[in-house]
Amino acid sequence: MQNRTLVRAALAMSITALVSTGCGSDATDETAPSGQSRPGSDLAAEAGATEVEGPEPRLVVADALSGRVDVLDLTTADKIHSFHFDHPTVLTTVKDRYAFAVDASGGTVHVVDAGSWTIDHGDHNHSYTKAPIEIGKLTGEQPGAVVIGDDKVATFFDADGRADVIDFAQLRKDSAEVGEVVPSASAHAGMAIPVADRYLVSRPGTGAGAFAPASFELRNADSGVETAFDVACPAANGHAVFDSYALAACDDGVFLARVTGGQWTAEKIPYPEGIGPSTRPTAFRGTDGTPLLAATAGSPTANDGVLLLDPLTHHWTHVRTPAAALDVNLSGDGRSLFAVLADGTFRVFDAASGAETASATALTGDKPHESAAITVGGNRAYVTDPEAKAVIEIDYRDNARIARRLDVGISVSSVSVVGS
């Protein structure tokens, strides 16, 4: 979702401790004890933050080799702050504000507040900025999947066979305090998915596949096992979370668990013809407000395009591309599908039909590219060019026009936008 992970659970920010007068009041010059609000605001800024006139998005980029994580102001392209960690390989963005930087080799997950966010009140918004800070860290053996759902973030530590869970309310307090620890049956390369007041936790296989996930069980808030699903999910890798259901990609199809009227059921969504263990999804990209999910049809080095799935209808669309797809993503409204290909091109497709609507050469160099990532903020897509140490900003609504090339000075392995 790194990559944005799909969360359709309600993410409305609690403002109980922040509101000094109700929204729509005539109060002016409201200021929190250690924060600043602009005159006329009806919501005081949290400590250390300043309210601004509108969203001020920031770009967060990570270099897995150097361990450097930079936060850039997307208005000016200036670097606001640099963090120096030990080999963070993946960034997972939470609530368009926080970044979980996973250092799998060092056993640490750094929790960063990138310092730009917007609160949606329906008929109006409030936008804030503050200095980026590391608000805490999680430690354990072999941290892996970071899953966002149900107002929580669950980080699974493979060798420990457990997930550390942080509630969104703690993050808003500048705290990475773990509220719950969710165990699994044993150590394995697993995941814990917070969904509908429960946790969908992977179970390991047996024999040669004992460290790979093979199925799922449902655990309650007390970590007790409520249901062990009999629907298998060999080599589970890639997930998505919705209000009342969650899914994971397996070697033989997509595992789907849902709750209806308090009853949980599980089923398998078959892959389309021609998709098997070597061409299956291993990560899903999605966006709030639509169930549509996108994934590459196999690894970046060996695939023939992009897969789209509507989990509600079980309908697949297989969009074949002229070169292997390195990464994919969706526009905020779910209408456009994006792919960056090994030939260096950025492609835009209609998500409903799969028809290509625009393309542009985004990556430099003549050799086939092996890695690139896409993130989306507003009406712009951002594509990493690790070899050029750059991020390309693309106006996807204007015929995939290259708007800017941001020279970031690091080989970006992971990228996200916050505060948009």
Contact (Cβ atoms closer than 8 angstroms) between residue 48 and residue 62: no
Please classify residue 212 by burial: count the beta carbons closer than 10 Å to its beta carbon, then call 0-12 exposed, 13-18 middle and 19+ buried.
Answer: middle
Q: Could you give the C-alpha distances from 281 to 194, 306, 355, in angstroms and in order?
A: 21, 9, 20
Pairing of strands 125-129, 133-139: unpaired
pLDDT per position as a tens digit, 252-264: 999 999 999 999 9
Q: How far apart are CA 192 and CA 250, in angstroms?
A: 15
pLDDT band of 26, cuts 50, 70, 90:
very low
Q: What is the mean pLDDT of residues 207-211?
A: 84
39 has a pLDDT exceeding 70: no
Q: What is the secondary structure of 107-145 as a DSSP string?
A: TEEEEEE-SEEEEE-SS-EEEEE---EEEEEEE-SSEEE
pLDDT band of 36, cuts 50, 70, 90:
low
**Run of H or E residues at 258:** strand 253-260
Sign of the C-alpha dihedral, residues 18, 24, 27, 30?
A: positive
Q: Could you give the C-alpha distances from 266 to 214, 215, 253, 255, in angstroms and in order?
A: 14, 11, 13, 7
Question: What local confidence, expressed as pLDDT, does residue 210 receive?
Answer: 87
Contact (Cβ atoms closer than 8 angstroms) between residue 149 and residue 195: yes
What global pTM score does this model have?
A: 0.89
Quote the Cα angle for 360-362-363, to 5°. 145
Q: What is the mean pLDDT of residues 10-26?
A: 32
Tokens of 131: 């200095």
Residue 386 three-state SS: helix
pLDDT per position as a tens digit, 62-102: 999 899 999 999 999 999 999 999 988 899 999 999 999 99
5 has a pLDDT exceeding 70: no
Lookup result for tokens 């074949």: 320
Mean pLDDT, rounded, of the chain: 89
Q: How far apart are CA 110 and CA 99, in angstroms?
A: 8
Going through 331-413 in order, the beta strands assigned E by DSSP cover 336-341, 345-350, 356-361, 374-377, 380-385, 390-395, 401-407
**Run of H or E residues at 170:** helix 168-171
pLDDT per position as a tens digit, 152-166: 999 999 999 999 999
Question: What local confidence, expressed as pLDDT, does residue 37 receive?
Answer: 55
